[in-house]
Structure 1
Amino acid sequence: MILELADIRIQPGRQAEFDAAIERGIETVIAQAKGFRGYKINKGIESPERYLLMIFWDTLENHMVDFREGPAFAQWRAIVGPFFAQPPQVEHFTLLSKSAER
């Protein structure tokens, strides 16, 4: 499994609008993508315009080829892109270690 981590900075004062848009975009667009396994969204406390979006994919190709090179990517960006203060920083990770759930 691959973790896509997107560090997103939005325009000040638009958090409530963005909260609704990002959830709608994930549920209606990204969740339908090949290899999608789940997501988490974290909001900044000290930096309220900062969000960390974690999306879990079966493979790197599911994100970079199937999703990013297909029509769904443009749909996703049309929903969330108007809120961006700058382009998101995106990186991919593999799991090294995990704690037991408590």
Structure 2
Amino acid sequence: MLLVKWETLEAHTVDFRGSAEYQEWKALLDHYYDPFPAVEHYELVDENSIL
């Protein structure tokens, strides 16, 4: 599992995934995945609950 914290959902889904760097990264690694990993987004509800 890879956990990444984004400032906003759009920072990941629009800015990152729309970038040339992401396209290059995906092209380099795509053949290692079968199927491509599932991506799930979560929202922090209570900052005090972080361990």
User: Where on the TM-score scale, by shorter chain, does this alignment land: which range?
Assistant: 0.7 to 0.9
Moved over 4 A (4+): none
**Length, aligned pairs only:** 49
Separation in structure 1 between the aligned mates of residue 7 and residue 19 of structure 2, nearest angstrom: 17
Percent of aligned pairs sharing the same letter: 35
Separation in structure 2 between the aligned mates of residue 54 and residue 93 of structure 1, nearest angstrom: 10
Bigger RCO of structures 1 and 2 (CA < 8 A, at least 6 apart): 1
RMSD: 1.6
Residue 36 of structure 2: aligned partner: 87
Separation in structure 2 between the aligned mates of residue 59 and residue 99 of structure 1, nearest angstrom: 18
Shift in Å at residue 99 of structure 1? 4.2
Higher normalized strand content (fraction of residues):
1
Q: TM-score, normalised by structure 2?
A: 0.73
Residue 66 of structure 1: aligned partner: 15
Higher normalized helix content (fraction of residues):
2
Matched, 1:56 2:5: yes
The residue type paired with residue 84 of structure 1 is Y
Secondary structure of residue in 1 paired with 2:36: coil
Separation in structure 1 between the aligned mates of residue 39 and residue 6 of structure 2, nearest angstrom: 14
Separation in structure 1 between the aligned mates of residue 13 and residue 50 of structure 2, nearest angstrom: 28
